[in-house]
């Protein structure tokens, strides 16, 4: 290599490092890594011990209050809703959904929509947003034209809390000790079958199995699962970057995300800005993650599901809940209506080509999972071309903590992948 070529190579390395630095300015995706537990001002998490104390929607319900709220809606609106029991958590708490539909002879022809929140038990904002959405839709039927039309045309299922053991980790009367995981300390958003066929690291949890069964027993065409820790609309895929495998309806997703973000910014211009300026992002372009719920629904059920990160703070102060409702309310309602203008060809979402080599998660702080169609030794090279790790054929899991942060090239047989160690 002459001097000119060496300079060119250095320039290329410098360029890729610069590009990486720019990528790093993105906020770390809260769903990418097990987070550091947040110890905020826990006094700010006011609890409602009775249904009446939820009147101003500025508290979190105790577990009992939550159950009573669900029960009271079915008593007040018996012809408009019923409770579906999706399943039971590890510790025996109920995973419930409010199923809203008008009962007429043609109800089976209405498309089914699904909202589900707080599969990460400490991401609390969506829990209360979903409760308030149920209340708003039910009370709005017959009084508000938009809500009435929406319910007349759609079957709507809303699951406010899909990981109750995580939310009530410190007991049924407080959410202060809420955690991301279920009672077995498993991240439920890494526990679903993956489009790439990657097996989850942990056995399937009862909460996951219940959700899979619920999806199998319905024909949801559009859904969203709500999270916290950032404010961004995260559309599929999470398992692939859009360069590897764009979602077949990416253009539609972008339009839907724009409408959601624009509407919310009409009510408060400061939101949906921490992860991307646009307020939306393809999940895999943020960080690739395996075994998430969103991709499972898209790939295995041909249901268009996205991940809504709705508040930068996971355990949002309860007195801020009304403000978040004010800017999210219209977007959340309008998103349900998107089910009536789905793109053509949603039955073929799963007809995708799988890359021959995948590394997950990427970027990574420690371990990577390797998915390769070939069984060959795994070699990892640094940017100077030195082999820094060598593992035998069939290796799936490698810990990169011994390596300095930076960019590496992983090779398995003839396939290569860029790996970023953070």
* Site residues for Zn ion per CB under 5 A: 31, 120, 123, 227
d(C-alpha 232, C-alpha 218), whole Å: 28
Contact assessment for residue 272 and residue 199, using Cβ atoms and an 8 Å cutoff:
no
Least CB distance from residue 416 to Zn ion, whole Å?
A: 31
Least CB distance from residue 259 to Zn ion, whole Å?
A: 23
d(C-alpha 136, C-alpha 92), whole Å: 29
The token duo for 387 is 């082999």
Q: What DSSP element (H or E) covers 209?
A: helix 206-216
Calculate the alpha carbon distances from 330 to 68, 177, 212, 333, 373 in Å. 26, 31, 29, 5, 45
For Zn ion, the closer of residues 118 and 157 by Cβ is: 118
Contact assessment for residue 210 and residue 311, using Cβ atoms and an 8 Å cutoff:
no
Nearest to 380 by CA among 339, 419, 422, 324: 419
What are the residues whose beta carbons fall under 8 Å from the beta carbon of 417, sequence distance 6 or more?
357, 358, 359, 362, 409, 410
Least CB distance from residue 227 to Zn ion, whole Å?
A: 3
> Left if phi > 0, otherwise alpha if psi is -120 to 50, otherwise beta: which for 349?
alpha
Least CB distance from residue 31 to Zn ion, whole Å?
A: 5
For Zn ion, the closer of residues 227 and 358 by Cβ is: 227
Least CB distance from residue 96 to Zn ion, whole Å?
A: 20
Rounded to the nearest 5 degrees, what angle is found at the Cα of 59, between the Cα atoms of 114 and 141?
45
Least CB distance from residue 359 to Zn ion, whole Å?
A: 22
Least CB distance from residue 189 to Zn ion, whole Å?
A: 6
For Zn ion, the closer of residues 112 and 187 by Cβ is: 187
What are the residues whose beta carbons fall under 8 Å from the beta carbon of 6, sequence distance 6 or more?
none
Which residue of this chain has its Cβ atom nearest to Zn ion in the complex? 227
For Zn ion, the closer of residues 238 and 371 by Cβ is: 238
For Zn ion, the closer of residues 65 and 225 by Cβ is: 225
For Zn ion, the closer of residues 30 and 195 by Cβ is: 30
For Zn ion, the closer of residues 228 and 248 by Cβ is: 228
């Amino acid at each position: 290599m002459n001097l000119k070529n060496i300079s060119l190579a250095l320039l290329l390395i410098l360029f890729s490092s610069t590009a990486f630095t720019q990528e790093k300015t993105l906020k770390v995706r809260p769903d990418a890594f097990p987070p550091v537990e947040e110890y905020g001002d826990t006094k700010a998490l006011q609890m409602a011990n009775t249904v009446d104390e939820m009147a101003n929607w500025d508290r979190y319900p105790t577990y009992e209050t939550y159950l009573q709220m669900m029960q009271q809606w079915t008593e007040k609106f018996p012809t408009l809703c019923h409770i579906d029991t999706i399943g039971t958590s590890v510790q025996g708490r109920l995973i419930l959904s409010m199923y809203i539909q008008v009962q007429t002879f043609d109800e089976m022809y209405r498309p089914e929509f699904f909202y589900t929140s707080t599969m990460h038990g400490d991401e609390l904002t969506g829990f209360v947003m979903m409760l308030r959405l149920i209340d708003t839709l039910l009370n709005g039927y017959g009084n508000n034209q938009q809500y009435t039309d929406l319910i007349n045309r759609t079957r709507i299922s809303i699951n406010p809390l899909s990981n109750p053991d995580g939310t009530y980790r410190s007991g049924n009367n407080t959410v202060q000790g809420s955690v991301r995981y279920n009672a077995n300390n498993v991240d439920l958003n890494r526990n679903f079958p993956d489009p790439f066929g990657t097996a989850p690291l942990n056995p399937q949890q009862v909460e996951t199995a219940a959700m899979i069964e619920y999806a199998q027993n319905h024909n949801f065409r559009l859904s969203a699962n709500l999270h916290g820790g950032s404010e961004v609309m995260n559309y599929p895929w999470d398992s692939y970057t859009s360069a590897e495998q764009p979602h077949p309806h990416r253009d539609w997703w972008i339009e839907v995300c724009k409408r959601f973000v624009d509407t919310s910014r009409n009510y408060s211009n400061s939101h949906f800005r921490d992860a991307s300026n646009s307020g939306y992002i393809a999940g895999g372009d943020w960080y690739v993650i395996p075994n998430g719920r969103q991709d499972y629904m898209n790939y295995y059920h041909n249901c268009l599901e996205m991940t809504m990160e709705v508040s930068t703070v996971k355990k949002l102060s309860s007195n801020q809940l009304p403000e978040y409702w004010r800017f999210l309310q219209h977007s959340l309602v309008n998103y349900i209506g998107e089910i009536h203008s789905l793109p053509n060809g949603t039955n073929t979402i799963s007809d995708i080509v799988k890359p021959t080599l995948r590394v997950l998660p990427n970027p990574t702080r420690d371990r990577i999972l390797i998915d390769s169609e070939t069984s060959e030794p795994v070699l990892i090279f640094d940017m100077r071309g030195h082999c820094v790790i060598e593992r035998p054929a069939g290796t799936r899991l490698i810990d990169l903590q011994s390596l300095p942060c930076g960019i590496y090239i992983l090779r398995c047989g003839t396939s290569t992948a860029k790996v970023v160690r953070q």
